């Protein structure tokens, strides 16, 4: 296929030396540089002297002189059939796999020609080996996701209103989804919110990031749970916040420790997971809930409440979010559909007083103009007709059984090596490992046996190992859970 004639840029020769050169030499140097970096390949035909002269705005003789120079230097040849070509004797410096990427090659491969800001914290996990059973820390069972409902609703959304949803929309999200979420929260979570209090985000990760961007200036202090959720810490830090760890015990974040931090520092925010503390699964006690809210109101501290798996609570009495008791406008309430439907949908939300929502929407628009309108509309439809709620009920049933299955298998197969309390809710069991066992070594052996178990080190603010596993039970069925625990047992013996 013959494409348009390649152009030649003289801009890359804008150093002082090249400006003093005659124009024909600058052209020659630009072409030889393009050959040297692999943009023009051996045997490639160059534009005719007339075409190149036109595109550069120079006389044709100037281009002819440049070509003559390059022929004399051996870069180019002419052929009897007519035309000027890159000499076939040139070494082909073109990268083999990526024919069109030659222009991105720099003198030092992979080096950029400017300084970068400090990188954000990394929190990705190594890929599990093929066929491994993963006690994933917080993954739903995607094999049971309501794919048919979703695809039907998505198709309807795309066709709706003559493709109107394919245009620009509100950075705060589709009004229909914001309303559907607000009424779902009023029913199930005791939140008195309407659509003006809701922004739809791409997962709760974006909601956390938006809170950080709206709230913090460099150096602002945020209290976080330790152990805790690294991806949130990364987002908070990326906005310049300085994080102060606060210990967690069986009743959640230790309030006395939090108050001590608030007395020592000018605290701007507290990030916490009160419903099922991540990773330990404990719930913040009722007394501490009130204390946190009082402290926040008294000192004008924002409470970022990450309620990531609210729906999965198995004991009879639901625990309402802190946000449901907030009368002073201090709580920024965050949730996600990642656990209810699927993480890849990237639908999360932030519920807050309206002025905050307006600021968050303006901030969001600076990097992500809006969410995915057809997806948001499809999800709104599934909430309106009760499909999401039915799916949640079904999954809660499965997960309750899987929680029992994991607890049973751990007790049967690992006996005295582990201790745990059955969590009231969530998607994982927090397992204490006997102090005579090296938990990191155990996890390493387990990986070799084809089972992945996350150790406490991953959640540690100080990076230190501790004798605990967080074993997720939601993404595996009962048979897989049994097999996974047997593999863990085998790994203990090697």
Ligand X SMILES: Cc1ncc(COP(=O)(O)O)c(C=O)c1O
Contacts with 137 (C-beta within 8 Å, 6 or more apart), sequence order: 279, 428, 454, 470, 472
Give the binding range for ligand X (CB under 6 A) out of 114-122, 168-176, 335-343, 389-397: 335-343
CB of 75 to ligand X, least distance (A): 53
Q: Does 308 bind ligand X (CB under 6 A)?
A: yes
Size of the site for ligand X (CB under 6 A): 13
Give the H or E element holding residue 212. helix 203-215
Nearest to ligand X of 229, 356 (CB atom): 229
CB of 336 to ligand X, least distance (A): 3
CB 277 within 8 A of CB 252: yes
Give the H or E element holding residue 33. helix 23-36
Q: How many CA atoms lie within 13 A of 105 on its CB side?
A: 17
CB of 415 to ligand X, least distance (A): 29
CB of 427 to ligand X, least distance (A): 9
Q: Does 306 bind ligand X (CB under 6 A)?
A: yes
CB of 405 to ligand X, least distance (A): 21
Q: Would you state the structure tokens that stand for residue 349, as one six-digit string?
A: 């939300």
Q: Does 47 bind ligand X (CB under 6 A)?
A: no
**Coil/strand/helix, residue 388:** helix
Q: Does 229 bind ligand X (CB under 6 A)?
A: yes
Nearest to ligand X of 66, 453 (CB atom): 453
Q: Could you give the CA distance from residue 60 to residue 254 in angstroms, rounded to a whole number? A: 80
Of positions 32, 239, 338, 467, contacts ligand X by CB under 6 A: 338
Please state the φ and ψ torsions of residue 105, each to the nearest 5 degrees.
Answer: -75, 130
Do β-strands 133-134 and 451-452 pair in parallel, antiparallel, or remain unpaired? parallel
Q: What is the DSSP letter of 108?
A: S
**Coil/strand/helix, residue 281:** coil
Cis amide prior to 227 (ω within 30 degrees): yes
Q: Does 280 bind ligand X (CB under 6 A)?
A: no
Q: Does 230 bind ligand X (CB under 6 A)?
A: no
3-state secondary structure 288-303: HHHHHHHHHHHHCCEE
Nearest to ligand X of 42, 343 (CB atom): 343
Residue nearest to ligand X (CB): 203
CB of 234 to ligand X, least distance (A): 12
Cα pseudo-dihedral 57, 63, 69, 75, rounded to 10: 90
Residues in 184-223 that interact with ligand X by CB under 6 A: 203-205
Q: Could you give the CA distance from residue 80 to residue 177 in angstroms, rounded to a whole number? A: 69
Nearest to ligand X of 176, 202 (CB atom): 202
CB 330 within 8 A of CB 211: no
Contacts with 186 (C-beta within 8 Å, 6 or more apart), sequence order: 192, 193
CB of 224 to ligand X, least distance (A): 11
Sign of CA dihedral 81, 82, 83, 85: positive
Of positions 32, 49, 230, 273, contacts ligand X by CB under 6 A: 273
Cis amide prior to 416 (ω within 30 degrees): no
Query: Residues 136-175: x/- map of binding to ligand X (CB under 6 A)?
Result: --x-------------------------------------
Of positions 233, 278, 399, 442, contacts ligand X by CB under 6 A: 278
Q: Does 274 bind ligand X (CB under 6 A)?
A: no
Give the binding range for ligand X (CB under 6 A) out of 115-123, 209-217, 297-305, 336-344: 336-344
**Chain positions contacting ligand X, by CB under 6 A:** 138, 203-205, 229, 273, 278, 306, 308, 336, 338, 343, 348
């Amino acid at each position: 296929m013959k494409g348009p004639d390649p152009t030649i840029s003289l801009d890359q020769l804008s150093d002082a030396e090249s400006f003093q050169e005659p124009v024909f030499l600058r052209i020659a140097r630009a072409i030889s540089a393009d050959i040297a970096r692999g943009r023009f390949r051996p045997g490639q035909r160059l534009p005719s002297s007339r075409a190149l002269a036109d595109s550069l705005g120079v006389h044709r003789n100037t281009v002819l002189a440049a070509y003559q120079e390059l022929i004399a230097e051996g870069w180019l040849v002419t052929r009897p059939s007519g035309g000027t070509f890159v000499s076939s004797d040139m070494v082909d410096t073109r990268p083999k796999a990526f024919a069109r990427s030659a222009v991105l090659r720099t003198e030092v491969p992979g080096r950029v020609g400017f300084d970068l800001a400090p990188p954000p914290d990394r929190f990705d996990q190594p890929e599990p080996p093929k066929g491994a059973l993963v006690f994933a820390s917080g993954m739903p069972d995607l094999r049971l996701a309501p794919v048919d409902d979703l695809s039907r609703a998505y198709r309807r959304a795309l066709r709706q209103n003559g493709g109107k949803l394919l245009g620009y929309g509100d950075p705060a999200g589709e009004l229909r989804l914001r309303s559907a979420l607000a009424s779902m929260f009023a029913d199930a979570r005791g939140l008195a919110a309407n659509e003006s209090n809701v922004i739809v985000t791409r997962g709760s990760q974006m909601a956390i990031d938006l809170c950080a961007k709206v709230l913090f200036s460099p150096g602002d202090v945020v209290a976080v749970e330790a152990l805790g959720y690294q991806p949130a810490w990364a987002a908070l830090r990326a906005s310049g916040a300085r994080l102060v760890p606060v210990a967690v015990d069986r009743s959640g974040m230790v309030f006395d420790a939090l108050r001590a931090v608030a007395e020592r520092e000018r605290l701007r925010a507290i990030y916490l997971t009160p419903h099922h503390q991540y990773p330990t699964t404990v719930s913040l006690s009722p007394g501490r809930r009130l204390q946190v809210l009082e402290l926040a109101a008294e000192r004008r501290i924002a409470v970022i409440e990450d309620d990531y798996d609210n729906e999965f609570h198995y004991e009879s009495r639901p625990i309402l979010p802190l946000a449901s008791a907030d009368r002073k406008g201090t709580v920024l309430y965050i949730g996600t559909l990642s656990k209810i439907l699927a993480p890849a949908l990237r639908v999360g939300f932030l519920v807050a007083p309206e002025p905050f929502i307006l600021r968050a929407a303006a901030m969001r628009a600076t990097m992500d103009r809006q969410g995915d309108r057809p997806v948001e509309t499809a999800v709104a439809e599934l909430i309106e007709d009760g499909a999401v709620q039915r799916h949640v009920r079904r999954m809660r049933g499965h997960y309750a059984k899987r929680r029992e299955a994991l607890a049973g298998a751990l007790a049967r197969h690992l006996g005295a090596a582990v201790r745990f309390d059955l969590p009231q809710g969530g998607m994982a069991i927090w397992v204490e490992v006997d102090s005579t066992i090296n938990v990191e070594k155990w996890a390493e052996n387990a990986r070799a046996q084809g089972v992945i178990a996350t150790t406490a080190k991953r959640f540690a603010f100080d990076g230190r190992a501790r004798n605990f596993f967080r074993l997720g039970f939601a993404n595996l069925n009962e048979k897989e859970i049994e097999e996974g625990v047997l593999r863990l047992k085998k790994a203990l013996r090697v």
